[in-house]
Amino acid sequence: MRTLNDYFLTVKITDVSTAGSTFVAVPDGGNIVKIYSTIKNAITTANAALSFEIGGTAVTNGGITIGYDGSAAGDVDSSTPSANNRVEEGEAIEVITDGGSSTACECMITFVIRR
């Protein structure tokens, strides 16, 4: 259930099939209560794993696996963080891709943050 205290941050990963990090700045403090990913096209070879960190600490239960088998444009995956999910105004959330999949693929990440 969404509340008036929820806000949303979205960040684009240029290629989820390339290992690396992307950062998004947090404009207001709160807890990450949900993370969504959606892809622009199919990925191949292997799953793409996403993990998330705040100040170098992994967000507990925040990881997302984007399955390559049957993947297609518009596929949505999600996670529900349970700990280490507090962000403060002016901090950054790091999105880490493992580079496990192949085929270049844009991926959008949406964070639901509850004040």
Per-residue pLDDT of the chain (115 residues; tens, 9 = 90+): 677 899 999 999 999 999 999 999 999 999 999 999 999 999 999 999 999 999 999 999 999 999 999 999 999 999 999 999 999 999 999 999 999 999 999 999 999 999 9
Q: Residue 100 gets which letter from DSSP? A: -
* Domain 6-114 CATH superfamily: Galactose-binding domain-like (2.60.120.260)
Query: What's the pTM?
Result: 0.95
15 Cβ contact list (under 8 Å, min separation 6): 104, 105, 106
Tell me, rounded to whole angstroms, the distance of Cα 54 from its chain centroid: 12
Residue ranges of domains in the chain:
6-114
